[in-house]
Amino acid sequence: MSVTQDLATFAAGHPAAAIPPQVTGRALALLTDLAGSAIRAAQEAESTPSVLAMLDRLGMQGDGPCTVFGLNRRYGAAAAALLNGTFGHSLDFDDTHADSSLHPSAPVVPAALAAAEMTGASGADLLAAIVVGFEVCCRLGMALDPAAHYARGFHPTATAGTFGAAAAAGRLLGLDAGGMACAFGVAGSQAAGSLQFLVNGAWNKRYQVGEAAMKGLMAATLAAEGFVGAADAIDGRHGFLAGYSDGADPARAVAGLGQVWETLRIGVKPYPACRYTHAAVDGLLALQAEHGFGPDQVQAITVGLHRNGITLVGDPLPAKRRARSIVDGQFSMPFAAAVALIRGRFGWDDYDLLGDPMADALADRVDVVRDASLEGLRHPFGATLRIRAAGRDHALRIPDPSGEPETFPTPEAAQAKFHALADPVLNQHAAPLLARLRGLAGAPSLRGYL
């Protein structure tokens, strides 16, 4: 069979009982993590009013069966998927799969949740669908070769994420393998996501991930209604892998399928910024704690990153040193370093340092260079640090940022992150929602559950 058929057969037919409990448990933890980010973004992301106004103007303003985190109203399924995906990705605080360099929950979970609420599926069915969606998009991201995909100017969360969303929604809509392949055929025409947002701190990044969730749901629904999608949409002559990468390896999409669970390799972010900044932030916080220097004592910092990191958070360096919008800050290694050294942390509320004179002065002392020793490794998110502070030189290599599978947050840490994001919006309602989310696996129907 082709890669398209293999993935379609897996997504439609892999038995839920054959998914290990730790895998569905991880999916639940990731869903809960995304919900916290979406709740805060629904109220505070600067792009939210425009997206809501667009839906209102187009007559998609609500009165549907589907939950949108952070809003006190329900929407139709397509709008709910769009909003939850956009909100979930707006803070850049959502999970990351290192090998594919994408954020799987933001496109997959909203599509699956909307489909589950449409159909009245159980919580267990929802989690199984999320797992297959994660597996599809992460494996496609790996098959694309993230460095080659980025070099072509694509955003893998939005491109591969569309297929993951279609897989998750299609499973809940009852597609068989043929129907799932049709859904992938439609998704192949809808998968889109450009890195051009980096030029001016545009809001495209968050919106195109919400669109991936919505378009995956639409692709699956079209297939469920008998629509004929393109055959071999993933590995055909003009398929996804050929069109979106110069270095694709189709075998990576199906290696160990159903036996090796990429879901367990998804990490959770401790900081609301591009994952390529995180290892360096970890290192700076560790060095500051060990040696006790203050931000005013830092004379120079050199951060070494993988070439993907340079593309996203280090180039062009003069612009990265002058982040002025939240998107600019989310993709600025100099700004992230400055925040860490000034505040001894990096949380969503620390974006108040944008334009701060001390932050700008520190950013001017940060160089970002490509470190070839970080390439050719399994994970691309490591960093090297050289820092001169208080008249002393320090060096550190951080192979992986915190929050990766080996340092996955404890339930207590996950709860703290959720409350830090949700409490300012939901107040006393945050704890009951968290309890419902954590009990989702036992819900007989998602309709009205949240």
| The predicted structure's pLDDT at residue 62 | 73
| Domains annotated on the chain, with CATH | 3-268+411-442 (1.10.4100.10), 275-398 (3.30.1330.120)
The whole-angstrom separation of Cα 260 and Cα 364 is 44
Q: Distance between CA atoms of 261 and 152, rounded to whole angstroms? A: 28
Give me the pLDDT at residue 377, please. 86
Is-contact 41 48, C-beta < 8 A? yes
> What pLDDT sits at residue 164?
99
| Confidence class for position 120, pLDDT limits 50, 70, 90 | very high
CB 156 within 8 A of CB 149: yes
In the numeric block, the tokens 């969730």 are attached to 213
Dump pLDDT digits (tens) for 300-356.
999 999 999 999 999 999 999 999 999 999 999 999 999 999 999 999 999 999 999
Q: Given pLDDT bands bounded at 50, 70 and 90, which one contains residue 378? A: confident
Task: Summarize the confidence of residues 397-414 as an average pLDDT.
Answer: 95
**Minimum mean pLDDT range among 41-45, 282-286, 374-378, 412-416:** 374-378
Local confidence band at 376 (pLDDT 50, 70, 90 cut-offs): confident
Whether residue 44 has pLDDT greater than 90:
yes
In whole angstroms, what is the distance from residue 343 CA to residue 224 CA?
Answer: 51
Structure tokens at 320: 């990265």
pLDDT above 90: residue 275 = yes
The CB-based long-range contact list for 5-8 (8 Å cut-off, 24+ gap) reads: 5/177, 5/181, 6/253, 6/254, 6/257, 7/136, 7/139, 7/140, 7/163, 7/167, 7/180, 7/184, 7/234, 7/253, 7/254, 7/257, 8/177, 8/178, 8/180, 8/181, 8/183, 8/184
CA–CA distances in Å: residue 234 to residues 29, 114, 138, 195, 222? 29, 25, 14, 21, 18
**Residue for token pair 């799987």:** 104
pLDDT for 400 beyond 90: yes
Contact 278, 270 (CB under 8 A): yes
Q: Please say if the pLDDT value at position 409 is more than 80.
A: yes
When pLDDT is averaged across residues 237-253 and rounded to a whole number, the result is 97
Mean pLDDT of the chain: 97
Query: Mean pLDDT throughout 118-141?
Result: 98
Question: In degrees rounded to 5, what are phi and psi of residue 393?
Answer: -105, 135
Confidence bin at 1 (pLDDT 50/70/90): confident
By DSSP bridging, strand 383-389 and strand 298-305 are antiparallel
User: Residue 127: helix, strand or coil by DSSP?
Assistant: helix
pLDDT bucket at 155, cuts 50 / 70 / 90 = very high
> Contact, 110 vs 80, CB < 8 A?
yes
Report the percent of the chain where pLDDT is more than 90: 97
Please tell me the pTM assigned to this model.
Answer: 0.95
**pLDDT band at residue 63 using 50, 70 and 90 as cut-offs:** confident
The whole-angstrom distance between residue 164's C-alpha and the CA centroid of its chain comes to: 12
Check residue 356 and give its pLDDT. 98
- Quick check: 80 pLDDT over 90? yes
Give mean pLDDT, residues 17-39: 98
